[in-house]
Every structure is written in structure tokens, then in C-alpha cells.
Amino acid sequence: MSLIVVITFLVLAFLGMPLAFALGVSALGGLWLSGFDLMVLPPRIMNAVNSFPLMSIPLFMVAGELMLKGGIMERLVDLANAFIGRVRGGLAQVAIISGAGLASVSGAAVADASALSSTLVPSLRKQYGLGFSTGIVAAAANLGPIIPPSGAMIVYAFMAGSSVSVGGMFMSGVVPGVILFLSFMFLCWFISWKRDYPLAGDPISLSAILRELRRSFLVFLMPVVVIGGIVAGAFTPTEGAAIGVCYALLLGFFVTRKLRLADLPEVLLTAAKTSALVGAMIAFASTVTFLFTIDLLPMHLAGMMEGITESPFLFLCLIALMLLVVGMFLESNAAYIMLVPLFHPIALNYGIDPLHFGFLFVLNLVIGMLTPPVGVVLFVVCGITGVKMGELVRESWPFIAAMYGVLLLCMLFPSVVTWLPERLGY
């Protein structure tokens, strides 16, 4: 039965049917062929999204959008400029710092790519040309789902079930996120030095740093309050996200004073529509996974994997290879929704730490967002800046290589991922 459902899904998906509906049609076919009463369908799809933790996805999205509309980008860029000063590749490093700062309030690579492309590429391209500028922006945007909060990690934790907490997933991304951030900073300097890009920016001044720190203090207080509150157990991720929304509203209306009431409908509608795309996939996939469970597919798959290798490291390598291919062709949310329920239990069988496996899974698919032919971050950057896909991909390779380097590091040394969550009791 599972095979028929999978084949139907693949045929429909490759014939261009949106993935959510391809899941729905194949699930419906599976239920019908298995002789199930079709009345199991509505409660299953409704209950799949009737979830308190899942609500944090649109709420974090709204918070991030409100922060952007409230004019935080300008403050982040000014702060980064003050810290970097006059060095080779300085403006590129400013973009990476801004991307990391944005990641700490938004958590969505696509929203970050859109914000960074429209605000930073015009000044970056004067220094480095369009290709490298867009490569920098795409890499900086990809920090979004790795540095907490992260929409991808919320979806992963939801699909993995009770063995993974959202707070634990958030914390697992901190150390690798910092390593990635530093490697991107180094790459910007190294490439600028190799290509002999001119020095840019103003010399470092303590007064400028203090001034910009004061201006950005309230922006950076948001992740401290929200993520800190979640980690400290003061509130759940969903409550934290709702507090983030209230905080962003106060900041936008009363501190930066750039947010207008007229901005709110668009922000709410965008977040709702984007959540619906993920929600539709989760809803219909729930019936597919129900059929898989009835068919004992996860058990068969686990047996097959254990037949191939008993080594946890080799299993991780196989998963990384599979996700490398999947990430090239499948949108990342679809991959979490379809593959996490199958492979997460197998990873537990191998004795792999659930947070370690979860982070590797997310990082693999985040890299997929930067790899053609289906790389959503690439599409967004191309769409906004007008850069040719080939040029962007060529300039993104050093950053993609750095991400694979960090992936390998995390695979070889699990403590890079698990050290911080363990210290915090996850």
C-alpha cells in the first residue's frame, strides 16, 4: 500500500500538482484502496494542524515582518558598520552581520533574503559587482533558519514528536550558527583580499559603536526576551512568539515609529498565506503517514537501514547524501513533513541524540535552499536583484562549501551541536 501511495504522490508531483494536493490525492487513494472509511480524513487533517506548538510559525513570521516594517534593518546595518570599520571586504561583512542580526529576530531564510536583497544589494554591488553581492546576501539569509528562532526547527520538532523540544532545537543551532557566521565573515574578507576589492567604510570609533549599540539595544532585546524566556521555561515557544509580536508592535509604533496601522493587514495576510502552504502539507501528509504507520513502513525502513549499516556515523552519511539530493529538488518544508516521521525514529534506534540528528537534518535542508535547481533563497535573490541564476550559484559556492564544512564538523563532533542544549538541561 505504502508503495502505491508513494508512486501516486511522485507521479502527481512530477506532473506539476502542488505537493500538498498530491499528498491529499494519494492519501485519499490509499484510504480508498485499503478499504478505510473516508470519514477518517477530515478529523485527521484538522487535528494535524489543531496544534498549539505549530501556531508559533505564523506568530514568529508576523514578529519578523513587523520588525522589518518597523525599520530595524537600518539600525542593524548602522551597528554592523560601526563595528567593522574600514577593512577589506568590510561592506560584505556588514551584510553578514546584518543577516545574523536579522536571523535572531526572524528565523525564515526567505524573508531575510527578501529584506537583505532589497536593502543591501544596491550599495554592495557598487563595491563588489552584482554576482558577489548577491552571493553574500544569499549566504547571510541562510543563517535565518540556523540561528534561533527558526521556523524550520519548529516544523522539525513538530514532525519529530515528543522526543525533540523546540527550545532544544533552537539551542542546538547556536554554536554551529556562530561557527557558520565566523566562516562567512572570513570568506568575505578572503575573497575580497584575493580579488583586491578596495577598502570601504569609516574607521572604527568608540563613540559611533556606543551610539549604534544604544540605537539597536531594543532590537536585540527581543531575541533575549523571547528565546531567553523559552529556554528559561518562562513560556512556551508559541507564547514566546506571541510576545515577540507584541514587542515588535511596541517597538515599531513607539520606538522606531516607522510602523503604520496600514502595514498590519498586509503583514497578517502574508503570514497567514505562508503558514497555510506549510499547514496544507502537514494536514494532508498526516493521512499519508497514517497509512505508512498502518503498513509498518517505518519499521521496514529501519530494518532495511540496519541491514545496510550498523554504524550511526554511516547512517548519518547516508541521510546527508539523501538530503543533499532531496534538497536539490524538493522544497524544504515538504521534505521535513514527509521525511522526518520516517527517519527520526530510525535515528533514535541508532542511538543518535535526537537534537543532533534534528540539527543535521535542518542544516542539510537549509543548504538545499541555496543549491539549484530548486533553491528558494536563490529564486528570491534572483527575483529581487535581477542577477542571473548561473552567476549567483557560481558566487554562492564558497559559502555552500563552508556550510558543508560545518555540516561535516557537526557530524564528526556531535558535541558542537549538543553541548549548549545539554548545559541548559535539554
Q: For the segment 205-224, give every residue that binds other proteins (CB under 8 A).
A: none
Binding residue for other proteins, selected from 2, 5, 30, 55, defined by CB under 8 A: 55
Question: What is the distance between the alpha carbons of residues 165 and 161, in angstroms, rounded to a whole number?
Answer: 8
Minimum CB separation of residue 235 from other proteins in Å reads 5
Minimum CB separation of residue 89 from other proteins in Å reads 29
Minimum CB separation of residue 361 from other proteins in Å reads 16
Q: How many CB atoms lie within 10 A of CB 329?
A: 14
Question: What is the distance between the alpha carbons of residues 382 and 342, in angstroms, rounded to a whole number?
Answer: 34
Alpha carbon 231 to its chain centroid, in Å, reads 19
425 sits in the region (left: phi over 0; alpha: psi -120 to 50; else beta) called left
Binding residue for other proteins, selected from 376, 404, 419, 424, defined by CB under 8 A: 376
380 binds other proteins (CB under 8 A): yes
Q: Which of residues 132-151 bind other proteins (CB under 8 A)?
A: 145, 151
Question: What is the distance between the alpha carbons of residues 133 and 140, in angstroms, rounded to a whole number?
Answer: 11
111 binds other proteins (CB under 8 A): yes
Question: What is the distance between the alpha carbons of residues 103 and 242, in angstroms, rounded to a whole number?
Answer: 17
CA-wise closest residue to 116 among 138, 91, 149: 138
49 binds other proteins (CB under 8 A): yes
- Read off the C-alpha cell for 423: 548545559
Instruction: Please identify, using beta-carbon distances, which residue of 89 and 148 lies nearer to other proteins.
Output: 148
Strands (E), 190-268: 199-200
CA-wise closest residue to 31 among 22, 40, 23: 40
Binding residue for other proteins, selected from 93, 332, 396, 418, defined by CB under 8 A: 332
- Read off the C-alpha cell for 310: 550498523
Instruction: Please identify, using beta-carbon distances, which residue of 28 and 301 lies nearer to other proteins.
Output: 28
Q: How many CB atoms lie within 10 A of CB 424?
A: 15
28 binds other proteins (CB under 8 A): yes
152 binds other proteins (CB under 8 A): yes
Minimum CB separation of residue 366 from other proteins in Å reads 12
58 binds other proteins (CB under 8 A): yes
- Read off the C-alpha cell for 411: 557530524
231 binds other proteins (CB under 8 A): no
Question: What is the distance between the alpha carbons of residues 224 and 247, in angstroms, rounded to a whole number?
Answer: 12
Size of the site for other proteins (CB under 8 A): 79
Instruction: Please identify, using beta-carbon distances, which residue of 70 and 414 lies nearer to other proteins.
Output: 70
- One character per residue 187-206, x = contact with other proteins (rule: CB under 8 A): --------------------
Instruction: Please identify, using beta-carbon distances, which residue of 172 and 287 lies nearer to other proteins.
Output: 287
- Read off the C-alpha cell for 73: 534593518
Instruction: Please identify, using beta-carbon distances, which residue of 121 and 330 lies nearer to other proteins.
Output: 330
Instruction: Please identify, using beta-carbon distances, which residue of 66 and 87 lies nearer to other proteins.
Output: 66
DSSP string, 145-204: TTSSS-HHHHHHHHHH-TTS-HHHHHHHTHHHHHHHHHHHHHHHHHHHHHTTPPEESPPP
Q: Is the sign of the CA dihedral 129, 135, 138, 143 positive or negative?
A: negative
Q: Which residues pair with 88 in a beta bridge?
A: 199
Do 110 and 376 contact (CB within 8 A), yes or no? yes
363 binds other proteins (CB under 8 A): no
Instruction: Please identify, using beta-carbon distances, which residue of 192 and 385 lies nearer to other proteins.
Output: 385
Minimum CB separation of residue 14 from other proteins in Å reads 5
Q: Which of residues 261-290 bind other proteins (CB under 8 A)?
A: 264-265, 268-269, 271-281, 283
232 binds other proteins (CB under 8 A): no
Q: Which of the stretches 46-54, 290-298, 357-365, 405-413 binds other proteins when contact is defined by CB under 8 A?
A: 46-54
Largest CA distance in the chain: 73
- Read off the C-alpha cell for 215: 540605537
Instruction: Please identify, using beta-carbon distances, which residue of 206 and 261 lies nearer to other proteins.
Output: 261
- Read off the C-alpha cell for 182: 565566523
235 binds other proteins (CB under 8 A): yes
Instruction: Please identify, using beta-carbon distances, which residue of 326 and 411 lies nearer to other proteins.
Output: 326
Binding residue for other proteins, selected from 25, 318, 322, 409, defined by CB under 8 A: 25
239 binds other proteins (CB under 8 A): yes
225 binds other proteins (CB under 8 A): no
